[in-house]
Structure 1
Amino acid sequence: MNVEDYENKRTSKNNLRTAEDKKRKIFVIQKHAARRLHYDLRLEMDGVLKSWAVPKEPPVEAGVKRLAVQVEDHPLEYANFEGIIPEGHYGAGKVEIWDKGRYILRERTENKIIFDLEGERLRGTYVLIRFKGDKNWLFFKRKNRNVNAFIYP
């Protein structure tokens, strides 16, 4: 193999890796002690962080369903925010990162979003399904079909 062939092969592999990395978007869950303690789920989409307020701790195991109320989009820079929002400001209270990482979008329609989380606490396939109006969604972890197929042939 000559140097040019080697460089082309190397460049081609790098391009594949870059394309794979582009599929992985930012996600963060911020624990937010505002008037009421809740968790803010944020997914990088369309150049912003699409956001949902989850009143209870996010589901770690399949079978646990949570209400997720869609709230306003946030700038991407907000994914790293931890600190205190001062009294008198919208969302006043302590914000800390509860989980963060990357996710891969599997399906997105007007009423359903399916995504694989690769976080420190949350890992696996998660689903958001819209119900009861525009802002209310159901948030849950999907059962691992591969594991279930192996255990229950």
Structure 2
Amino acid sequence: MPEAPIFVVQLHDARRLHYDVRLEVDGVLKSWAVPRGPSLDPSVKRLAVPTSDHSIEYAEYEGVLAESKYGSGAVIVWDAGVYQNLTKDKQRRLIDPAEAIERGHFKFRLQGVKLNGAWAFTRTDRDGDWLMVKVRDAAADPTLDLTTAEPQSILSGLSIEEMAATGSDA
């Protein structure tokens, strides 16, 4: 039985503070920058801007990227785990994640340290941004903002500010 694909959410203090939501697809981490982070409230739609693919190894990166590098600034692993693809076609057959992303709608269930339950990424137009929305399920909680309640790294325990103060490329 194949291993479940991984996901990681990295909090990144680059030009602006944002959460990079990364899902393993075809051997790389497909990535979206989500400025306000994932919400547990199904009525909240979060802007998700596609970014470049990253290597699987990057899923464990924490540190401070040098000024000369793209996306310089502090990075922490805010959450990580595995995910399950839930995207289906009209005949209710599972669609491959890469195809789902190409079509503009990708639904998945996260099993992480902080995030659990189902979400969906939906492209708003052919060339543009996406939205990240929590699916109504048992893990939905409109009263809890995990980005505020649990700001620290699941690996180091550091906040983004503490990581920035270390100045180290971990």
Are 1:97 and 2:90 an aligned pair? no
Deviations 1:55-113 (A, max 9, x none): 11211232221010111100000000000001121101000011111100111421100
Which structure has more RCO (C-alpha within 8 Å, separation ≥ 6)?
A: 2
Distance in 2 between the 1:139 and 1:86 partners? 29
Counterpart residue number, 2:44? 64
How many pairs align?
126
Distance in 2 between the 1:76 and 1:67 partners? 24
Pairwise CA distance, 1:144: 1.4
Deviates more, 1:38-47 or 1:124-133: 124-133
| Structure 2 spans left out of the alignment, 5+ residues | 88-96, 141-170
Identity of aligned residues (%): 46
Counterpart residue number, 1:74? 54
Counterpart residue number, 1:37? 17
Distance in 1 between the 2:68 and 2:58 partners? 20
Are 1:83 and 2:76 an aligned pair? no
Pairwise CA distance, 1:121: 1.1
Are 1:137 and 2:130 an aligned pair? yes
Larger Rg: 1
RMSD: 1.6
Which is richer in helix? 1
Which is richer in strand? 1
Are 1:119 and 2:112 an aligned pair? yes
Counterpart residue number, 2:6? 26
1:106 partner letter = L
Pairwise CA distance, 1:135: 4.0
Deviates more, 1:105-114 or 1:77-86: 105-114
TM-score (norm 2): 0.70
Distance in 2 between the 1:82 and 1:33 partners? 12
